[in-house]
């Protein structure tokens, strides 16, 4: 197969057979014809279906595995199975692009501050009783962590609970594009912070700071409950600015480049 040439532009490479097979299977996953947990037909059946050799089929599998759309087990009882797309895969790639362009963590966090408060405002305008119940349950869980001597210093528990609150804001705002974009940025920040032994974006040092953060969370829920979109967006932007100053003190954030390989 010869490459197609655009007289006004560069040579356009024709897709390889393996890429075409991967595209076909990817389309089935995206359309829902293949669902998470479904097994693909055996290699023998797929080779016959597509009229290709085993190496070509396995190259297609490798493409889909790299995209975290399938998981392949080798051996007599092996085979390919559809898995849920993982936002961490996109975050790793975006993180590499940011790192290679010298992007700072402060720059990434600034992008989050543009997205997440906007999501809080959307949520206030669209909230359901279930949204409010789930947000309040998350806040009460945080209260329990703050007031418990056993869990007060449990960084993992605090990190998971605060991240759940951030995730709820994005998940329930009603805009999937915002949710995915913010999720990718969150993962990039989390991957970077894990290399410098910081566990959470809301990173209090004392029990009093824990309580202040919980009060801030509770205030946001009250604004969302009241349907005050402007107030919710304004409050959450202020919250994230305050947390950002604690997380990235002085010139640290302005100078620290995203680093996934520290």
Q: What is the CATH number of the domain that holds 186?
A: 1.20.120.530
What CATH code is carried by the domain that includes residue 56?
1.10.10.10
Average pLDDT, the chain: 84
Rounded Cα distance between 158 and 155, Å, is: 5
pTM above 0.75, yes or no: no
Q: Between these two residues, 1 and 126, which has the higher pLDDT value? A: 126
Give the total number of structural domains in the chain.
2
**Does the residue 261 lie in any domain?**
no
Q: Are residues 36 and 103 in the same domain?
A: no
Q: Would 262 be classed as within a structural domain?
A: no
125, 37: one domain: no
pLDDT, position 202: 54
Better-scored residue on pLDDT, 168 or 147 = 168
Which of residues 33, 63, 82 is at a domain's end? 82
Q: Exposure of 10 by Cβ count < 10 A (0-12 exposed, 13-18 middle, 19+ buried)?
A: exposed
Cross-strand pairs, 12: 4
C-alpha 175 chain-centroid distance: 14
pLDDT at 225: 98
Mapped onto helix, strand or coil, the DSSP state of residue 77 is coil
The whole-number pLDDT of residue 229 equals 97
Q: Are residues 54 and 123 in the same domain?
A: no
Based on the domain organization, do 100 and 53 belong to the same domain? no
18-52 exposure pattern, b = at least 16 Cβ within 10 A, e = fewer: beebbeebbeebeeeebeeeeebeebeebbeebeb
User: Are 37 and 140 members of one domain?
Assistant: no
Query: Is residue 236 located within the same domain as residue 216?
Result: yes
Q: Tell me which residue range forms the domain holding 13.
A: 4-82
| Domain's final residue, options 63, 82, 101 | 82
List C-alpha distances in Å: 232 to 77, 100, 127, 180.
Answer: 53, 35, 12, 21
Q: Is the pLDDT of residue 203 over 60?
A: no
Sorting pLDDT into bands at 50, 70 and 90, what band is 216?
very high
């Amino acid at each position: 197969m010869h490459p197609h040439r655009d007289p006004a532009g560069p040579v356009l490479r024709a897709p390889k057979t393996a890429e075409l097979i991967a595209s076909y299977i990817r389309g089935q996953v995206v359309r829902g014809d293949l669902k998470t947990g479904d097994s693909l037909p055996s290699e023998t059946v797929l080779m016959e279906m597509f009229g290709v050799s085993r190496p070509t089929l396995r190259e297609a599998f490798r493409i889909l595995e790299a995209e975290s759309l399938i998981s392949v087990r080798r051996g007599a009882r092996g085979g390919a199975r559809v898995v849920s797309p993982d936002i961490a895969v996109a975050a790793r790639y975006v993180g590499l692009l940011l790192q290679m362009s010298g992007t700072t963590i402060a720059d990434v966090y600034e992008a989050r501050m543009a997205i997440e408060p906007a999501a809080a405002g959307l949520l206030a305008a669209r909230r359901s009783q279930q949204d409010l119940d789930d947000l309040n349950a998350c806040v009460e869980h945080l209260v329990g962590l703050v007031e418990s001597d056993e869990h007060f210093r449990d960084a993992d528990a605090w990190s998971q609970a605060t991240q759940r609150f951030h995730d709820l804001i994005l998940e329930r705002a009603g805009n999937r594009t915002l949710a995915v974009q913010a999720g990718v940025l969150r993962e990039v920040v989390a991957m970077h912070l894990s290399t410098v032994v910081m566990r959470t974006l809301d990173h209090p040092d004392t029990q009093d700071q824990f309580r202040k953060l919980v009060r801030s969370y509770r205030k946001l829920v009250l604004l969302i409950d009241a349907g005050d979109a402007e107030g919710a967006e304004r409050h959450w932007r202020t919250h994230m600015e305050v947390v950002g100053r604690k997380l990235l003190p002085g010139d640290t954030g302005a100078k620290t480049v995203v680093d996934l390989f520290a």
